[in-house]
Amino acid sequence: MNWRSPREITLRTWQLPPRFGFWWALLLVAVLIGVWSGLYTVPSDSAGIVQRFGEYIKEVPPGLHIKIPFGVDRATIVPVKRQLKQEFGFETPGAMDPYQGSRDADRETQMVTGDLNSALVEWVVQYRIAEPLKFLFQIRDPRMTLRDVSESVMREVVGDRTVDEVITIGRQEIEVDALTKMQALAAKYELGVSIDQVQLKNVNPPKPVQESFNEVNQAQQEKEKLINEARRQYNKVIPLAEGERDQRIREAEGYRLKRVNEAEGDVARFSAVLAEYLKAPEVTRRRIYLETMQQVLPMLRSKIILDEQGRQILPLLQLDSEKAGKP
Amino acid sequence: MSAIRSVVVMVLALIAASTLMNSFYTVNEIEQVVITQFGKPVGAPVTTAGLKMKLPFIQVVNPIDKRILEWDGSPTDMPTKDKLYVSVDMFARWRITDPLPYFLRMRDERSAQSRLDDILGSETRNSVAKHELIEIIRTTKDRVPLQDTSLKNANNVVGMLLPIQKGREAVEREIFAAAAPKVGVFGIELLDIRFKRIDYNQSVRPKIYDRMVSERRQIAEQFRSEGNGEAARINGNRERDLQKIQSEAYRRVEEIRGEADAKATEIYSKAYNQSPEAVNFYEFTRTMEAYKSIITTNTTLVLSTDSDLFRFLKGITGKDSPPVDLRR
């Protein structure tokens, strides 16, 4: 048939019996629908799994592809390269994936620890669909299964730890431990996903207990404070005392120097004078005596000079030097 | 005439087409198929995927899931051996491995799920009732917990794990071992059953919280007392060190001063004691020095004309005698 000219088509349709034209139009529409529905695109982060009459035939890479239409071939798009995550105990609003957020956050976070305490744990599992065939055909509802696995494993891991480990010191170990156990279970259930990471988010003691946990922190701070205060007092006193000690010792050393130097000075002077004295002892002695007297006597308030014979007048003298001496 | 013929042809073609359509069926990768003829299964179940043939109209296709299926138990309150009420939530994974008995006895998945509810639920109850709570909480028997270094000497309760005999995994295996044969007769293979959630019952929770609070208080108290103790220790050290430093200083000072005095004495005595003349001279000069400071302005001195100074008052010859009296 020659369909090239639209005018020719109308001409022919108009000329042919109406029934005949109707069949051709129907066929044309069917072919168009067939081609249209046979085309499909696989996005760049995904892979297409093609089934013919339900049987898996191939996996196709990203791009435009064609399949046999009318239910013979079916293509399922699986986002194999996309990093997916599941949240437990909380929910980031606006998630596209219905399996991402928490179903029943309260129940999910409540956990019993290995010392029979209670803790509230929130965590995130990062995963990718690594084997789309297993993901689609081996297990029904793999994402829900992953959620169950994750919850079960996290409780198992937390159940093997004390509340202190869960809340503070053992977080990293829990992440590592949970990751390996989840990976093992995912492989066992043939989920077809690869779990890349388990991250603990908020981990808290239950609400009614939180205050007493804070009290412990406060007490810890208080302890530090008391110790620091005592250290402050120590540091305030001891270095000063050490300094004062050194000061006193140095002063004593100064005294020693002074004492020795003075002694040596005195002795030097004495020796010098002695040398001269030895040359003329009598005269020198007299001279020193008289010089001293000359120096000393003028300072006296009163001098009484008695003769040997006039000794008896001594009692008659008014010795009021004490009274008169006072101003 | 030709109209009747064409109608007959069309009807025949329709019948042929629908017969043809009905004798083909597809089996998906995720399912297996039991073919029934008037309600009775015929032939072996079809387990491979693809386009298959059957007798049209007479035989009916009954698809049965081939994948691993889920069983999610609902949370149930049950007592443990130590009479603690806990809410237990289990999940299991199972698979239809033998479609024929499954099809005959279950017909559909809903009845299978409710059968699993019964069997797994009661086995869980049995097992939980036989074990203490800690046995289904903990897993690793000899795990040594990390301990907060600041809490190390708290006491032996805080920061310790309670001891167990079996552990969670063993209990799970027990439940599995008890339930697996029971569901096996339905053509079901139980793959795994695990505890999803174990939680304190609402009524138990306040008691647990009370215990946690008292435990924490005790730790807090310990911190405070450690702080006070350490502070006291430091204060003691301070006092001790202070006394030590001060007494050391005193000792050292006295030693040095003693040394100094000794040295000075040695120097003096060596010089003054070198000869009898020196002794004599020292005594004389020192006495003179002493006069200078002893005799001050307030002193009245009674002197004799016999003294060396004034003897010349009596005469030019003088007489040799010391001063008579000295008063202050």
Kindly state the average pLDDT of the residues A6-16: 50
Kindly state the average pLDDT of the residues B95-100: 88
Chain B residues touching A299 at Cβ < 8 A = 295-297, 299
Alpha-carbon distance B283 to A7, whole Å? Answer: 160
A115 close to A107: Cβ distance less than 8 angstroms: no
Q: A11 pLDDT exceeds 70?
A: no
Q: Give me the residue from A224, A260, A285 closest to B263, CB to CB.
A: A260
Kindly state the average pLDDT of the residues A76-89: 89
Lowest-pLDDT range of A201-205, B107-111, B238-242 = B107-111
Indicate the length of chain A as a whole number: 327
Q: A279 pLDDT exceeds 60?
A: yes
Flag whether residue B65 sits within 8 Å of chain A, measured between CB atoms: yes
* Mean per-residue pLDDT over chain A, rounded: 83
Indicate the length of chain B as a whole number: 328
Q: Give me the residue from B208, B219, B230 closest to A216, CB to CB.
A: B219
Task: Decide if A270 and B162 are in contact by the 8 Å CB cutoff.
Answer: no
Q: Between A172 and A12, where is the model more confident?
A: A172
Number of H-type helices and E-type strands within chain A: 10, 10
Give the closest residue to B300 by CA, choosing from A289, A326, A322, A308: A322
Q: For residue B19, what pLDDT is reported?
A: 87
pLDDT band at B151 (very low <50, low <70, confident <90, very high): low
Q: What is the DSSP string of B265-325?
A: HHHHHHHHTSSHHHHHHHHHHHHHHHHHHHS-TT-EEEEETTBTTTHHHH-SS---B----
Kindly state the average pLDDT of the residues B287-299: 79
Measured from the Cβ of residue A114, the count of other Cβ atoms closer than 10 Å reads 25
Flag whether residue B217 sits within 8 Å of chain A, measured between CB atoms: yes
Measured from the Cβ of residue A32, the count of other Cβ atoms closer than 10 Å reads 10
Structure token pair of residue B280: 């004599």
Structure token pair of residue A29: 């529409």
Q: How many CA atoms lie within 13 A of A128 on its CB side?
A: 11
- The residues facing B302 across adjacent strands are A304
* Cα→Cα distances B43→B40, B52, B99, B104, B228, Å: 10, 14, 12, 14, 85
Q: For residue A18, what pLDDT is reported?
A: 56
* Amino acid at residue number A30: A
A136 close to B30: Cβ distance less than 8 angstroms: yes
Chain B residues touching A156 at Cβ < 8 A = 139, 168-169, 195
Alpha-carbon distance B23 to B158, whole Å? Answer: 72
Closest-CA residue of chain B to A317? B302
What tens digit of pLDDT does each residue of A290-313 get?
Answer: 888 888 877 777 777 776 665 555
B238 close to A234: Cβ distance less than 8 angstroms: yes
pLDDT band at A315 (very low <50, low <70, confident <90, very high): low
Q: For residue B303, what pLDDT is reported?
A: 72
What tens digit of pLDDT does each residue of B50-72 get?
Answer: 888 888 888 888 888 888 898 98
Alpha-carbon distance B168 to A270, whole Å? Answer: 104
Give the 3-state secondary structure percentages of chain B, helix then strand then coil, rounded to 5.
Answer: 50, 20, 30
How close, in Å, is residue A19 to chain B by CA atoms?
14
Q: For residue B326, what pLDDT is reported?
A: 45
Chain B residues touching A209 at Cβ < 8 A = 209, 212-213, 216
Measured from the Cβ of residue B317, the count of other Cβ atoms closer than 10 Å reads 7
Chain B residues 127-166 with CB within 8 Å of chain A: 133-134, 137-140, 143, 145-148, 150-151, 158-162
B89 close to B195: Cβ distance less than 8 angstroms: yes
Q: Which residues of A240-271 are buried (b: 16+ CB within 10 A; e: fewer)?
A: ebbeebeebbeebbebbeebbeebeeebeebe
Q: What is the DSSP string of B163-195?
A: P-SS-HHHHHHHHHHHHHHHHHTTTEEEEEEEE
How close, in Å, is residue A85 to chain B by CA atoms?
19
Interface probe, candidates B2, B281, B312, chain A, greatest A C-beta count within 10 A: B281
Measured from the Cβ of residue A33, the count of other Cβ atoms closer than 10 Å reads 12
Q: B266 pLDDT exceeds 50?
A: yes
Alpha-carbon distance B60 to B22, whole Å? Answer: 9
Task: Decide if B29 and A306 are in contact by the 8 Å CB cutoff.
Answer: no
Lowest-pLDDT range of A28-37, A151-160, A236-245, B302-311 = B302-311
* Amino acid at residue number A117: N
What tens digit of pLDDT does each residue of B272-292 get?
Answer: 888 888 888 888 888 888 888
Q: A17 pLDDT exceeds 70?
A: no
* Mean per-residue pLDDT over chain B, rounded: 84
A194 close to A128: Cβ distance less than 8 angstroms: yes
Q: A2 pLDDT exceeds 90?
A: no
Interface probe, candidates B90, B146, B172, B241, chain A, greatest A C-beta count within 10 A: B146
How close, in Å, is residue A15 to chain B by CA atoms?
23
Distance of CA B196 to the CA centre of its chain: 24
B109 close to B211: Cβ distance less than 8 angstroms: no
Q: What is the pTM of this model?
A: 0.70
Alpha-carbon distance A89 to A105, whole Å? Answer: 4
Percent of chain A with pLDDT over 90: 27
Q: B259 pLDDT exceeds 60?
A: yes
Kindly state the average pLDDT of the residues A187-193: 88
Q: Between B322 and B120, where is the model more confident?
A: B120
CB-neighbour burial class of residue B114 (10 A; exposed 0-12, middle 13-18, buried 19+) = exposed
What tens digit of pLDDT does each residue of A64-75 get?
Answer: 888 887 778 888
Chain A residues touching B93 at Cβ < 8 A = 139, 145, 189
pLDDT band at A163 (very low <50, low <70, confident <90, very high): confident
Q: For residue B315, what pLDDT is reported?
A: 67
Alpha-carbon distance A284 to A289, whole Å? Answer: 8
Q: Between B126 and A63, where is the model more confident?
A: B126
Distance of CA B294 to the CA centre of its chain: 85
Q: Kindly give the pairing relationship between strand B300-304 and strand A302-306.
A: parallel
Give the closest residue to A176 by CA, choosing from A151, A195, A191, A159: A195
Task: Decide if A55 and B51 are in contact by the 8 Å CB cutoff.
Answer: yes
Chain B residues 268-297 with CB within 8 Å of chain A: 268, 270-272, 277-278, 281-282, 284-285, 288, 291-292, 295-297
Residue A303 has φ and ψ, to the nearest 5°, of: -125, 130
Q: For residue A261, what pLDDT is reported?
A: 92
Q: For residue A3, what pLDDT is reported?
A: 47
DSSP class of B143: P
What tens digit of pLDDT does each residue of A110-128 get?
Answer: 898 888 888 999 999 999 9
Q: B74 pLDDT exceeds 70?
A: yes
Q: Give me the residue from A112, A286, A290 closest to B200, CB to CB.
A: A112
pLDDT band at B143 (very low <50, low <70, confident <90, very high): confident
Kindly state the average pLDDT of the residues B210-219: 88
pLDDT band at B158 (very low <50, low <70, confident <90, very high): low
Kindly state the average pLDDT of the residues A82-90: 89
Q: For residue A175, what pLDDT is reported?
A: 93
Percent of chain B with pLDDT over 70: 90
